[in-house]
Amino acid sequence: MRQLIRNISIFDGTGSAPAPGAVIVEGDRIAAVLHDEAAIAAVEADSVIDGQGATLMPGMVDAHTHLTWGSSVEKIYHQFILPPDELKVAAWRNARVLLDHGYTSLYSAGALGDQIEPELARAIAAGETPGPRLVPSTLERSPEGEEGVETGDVFNGRGPDAMRAFVAYCADEGVKSLKLVISGEDALKPGSSQDILYTDAEMQAAGEAAKAAGLWIATHAYTPRAIDLALEAGARILYHCSFADDAAIDAMAAKKDEIFYAPGPGVSVAALEASPPPHIDMSSMKASAAERLELEKTLVPKLKARGVRILPGGDYGFPFNPHGRNARDLEHFVCLYGFTPAEALSAATMLGGQLMGQQVGQVKPGYLADLLLVDGDPTQDVRILQDSNNIKMIMLGGRMHKSPVSQPVTA
């Protein structure tokens, strides 16, 4: 199947300005990107899509996804922990909701149920259910009781051997990235963000075992010591890092070619905006969100200036921060961190593709044809992407998830 998408402005994901042209898709990949009108006119294709001047861009990547955090723009849950059957239903729904909103790749930051995400990733890959490409994870692993929240994780033993056993289990299950909660969480237990939940020996064991098994590590880390432990364990992505000092910034910058960083502003902004009913006390969460946002306004530009790859992804799935609003992170990157719209889009596409470890995130020959056709120019206003009605086409691996009007080729 050879498809031609023409009469478009192409944002290729690199951050360069959009340019008029056309794209040829063959099978599941981009075969050519054309800018010469004569060459475009000479293309023979099985189907032709007239973009009518819209912007063609790569599908977006969410770098901090919790599919089992149930709430979406389609269904809000007012409890966080769901029964197993409903948890699976919510995860399957959320995958489709995110694809509907232009997210063609997801990097999981942990799950509330065991085995759900590897099963979902297999189902998506087999075409059994709609959803983005998924780097699956399992239960967020944190030492039992340390953060004041019962995870229910039967693998929450302590010591290096328990860490090695957990990594081995993840490898057998089909997990690609395991989530380690190194810091506490003020939103759940005030003051605990300064706590360190693992020993040096445990983190070292996890890092060595993950490397040997070919798995990635994602880390919840707030403080300089937590950041050091994450880096020493070979973490692929670090979340939050709000209390990083100059030494931690230096350490992250020294590994800028090996790591990714996602500050996660989405949940903080949404927590501050939330108006919960009187019986729900969000005061600790709101205080923590305000503190983190202020710190990150300074931290993120410093890390960006040092060349650290900074990605959107903001803990969506709470009832006050549902899946489907993920593109708000782009606006936060512009308004809070000083990114240009094109830089924010590049972070959500090209850099996100690098995190995924797949040929996604760019409009480039040889890359997988994960493409969006957007009504308007998101490099001028990223808020366009917050309304899924502005996304006229969603293509995943050359197949249409959302189709524009196609024009049959005439003889």
Residues 85 and 43 in one domain: no
pLDDT at 185: 84
- What range defines the domain where residue 246 resides? 60-326
Residues 270 and 397 in one domain: no
pLDDT at 345: 98
How many Å apart are CA 92 and CA 95, to the nearest integer?
5
pLDDT at 79: 85
Residues 116 and 11 in one domain: no
Q: Directed axis angle between helix 224-232 and helix 200-213, to 10°?
A: 40
pTM over 0.75: yes
Half-sphere exposure of 384 (CA within 13 A, CB side): 20
Is there a domain that residue 335 lies in? no
Residues 121 and 42 in one domain: no
Residues 24 and 146 in one domain: no
Is there a domain that residue 367 lies in? yes
Count of structural domains within the chain:
2
How many Å apart are CA 119 and CA 128, to the nearest integer?
11
Task: Give every residue of the chain whose pLDDT is below 70, as ranges.
Answer: 144-156, 405-411
Contact (Cβ atoms closer than 8 angstroms) between residue 404 and residue 392? yes
Contact (Cβ atoms closer than 8 angstroms) between residue 361 and residue 354? yes
Residues 237 and 207 in one domain: yes
Quick check: helix, strand or coil at residue 291?
helix
- 204 φ, ψ (degrees, to nearest 5): -65, -45
pLDDT at 148: 47
Structure tokens at 388: 């899924």
Residues 206 and 255 in one domain: yes
Residues 148 and 42 in one domain: no
Give me the CATH number covering residue 390: 2.30.40.10
DSSP characters over 15-64: SPPPEEEEEEEETTEEEEEE--HHHHHT---SEEEE-TTPEEEEPEEEEE
**Long-range CB contacts (within 8 A, 24+) of 86-89:** 87/112, 87/113, 87/116, 88/113, 88/116
Give me the CATH number covering residue 151: 3.20.20.140
pLDDT at 267: 94
Residues 22-56: pLDDT tens digits? 999 999 999 999 999 999 999 999 999 999 999 99
Residues 129 and 12 in one domain: no
Residues 53 and 168 in one domain: no
Question: What is each CA distance from 276 to 189, 279, 314, 375, 406, in whole angstroms?
Answer: 19, 8, 20, 35, 45
